[in-house]
Amino acid sequence: MDIKYFRLIKTIVEEGNMASSSEKLFLTQSALSHQLRDLEERLGFKVFHRTRNKWKTTEEGEALYRLANQVLDAIDRGLSNIEQIRTGSRGTIKVSTECYSFYQGLPAFIQKMGVLYPEIDVDLILEATHQPISKLLSHDIDIALVTSKPVNDLLSSIEVFEDEIFAIMHRENVLNDAEYLDVSNFADIHLIIHSFPLETVSVFEKFLKPNGITPVKISAVPLTEVALEIVSANMGIMCMPKWALKSFRISDDLVFKRISQHGLKRTHYLVVREVERSKKYVHDFISNFEEHFAGDSLA
Q: What is the pLDDT of residue 296?
A: 46
Statement: residue 235 has pLDDT above 60: yes
How far, in Å, CA of 95 to CA of 80, rounded?
A: 26
pLDDT in tens, 143-172: 999 999 999 999 999 999 999 999 999 999
Number of helices followed by number of strands (H, E) in the chain: 9, 11
What is the average per-residue pLDDT within 203-211? 96
66 compared with 89, residue with greater pLDDT: 66
Give the end-to-end CA distance of the chain in Å, rounded to a whole number: 62
Q: What is the pLDDT of residue 78?
A: 83
Contact indicator for 137, 275 with CB cutoff of 8 Å = no
Statement: residue 85 has pLDDT above 80: no
Confidence tier at 51 by pLDDT (50, 70, 90): confident
Nearest to 5 by CA among 41, 35, 48, 29: 35
Query: What percentage of the chain reaches a pLDDT higher than 90?
Result: 62
What is the average per-residue pLDDT within 105-125? 91
Confidence tier at 79 by pLDDT (50, 70, 90): confident
pLDDT in tens, 7-33: 899 998 888 888 888 888 888 888 988
For residue 137, with 0-12 CB atoms within 10 Å meaning exposed, 13-18 middle and 19 or more buried, which class applies? middle
Q: Where are the alpha helices (DSSP H) in 88-195?
A: 106-116, 132-137
What is the average per-residue pLDDT within 57-71? 91
What is the average per-residue pLDDT within 207-224? 96
Q: What is the pLDDT of residue 105?
A: 78
What is the average per-residue pLDDT within 49-68? 85
Q: Which residues contact 253 (CB under 8 A, 6 or more apart)?
A: 170, 171, 172, 232
What is the average per-residue pLDDT within 75-98? 81
Q: Which residues contact 177 (CB under 8 A, 6 or more apart)?
A: none
Domains by residue range for the chain, with CATH: 3-87 (1.10.10.10), 91-159+275-298 (3.40.190.10), 161-265 (3.40.190.10)
Model confidence, pTM: 0.68
What is the average per-residue pLDDT within 255-260? 98
Contact indicator for 158, 269 with CB cutoff of 8 Å = yes
Q: What is the pLDDT of residue 260?
A: 97
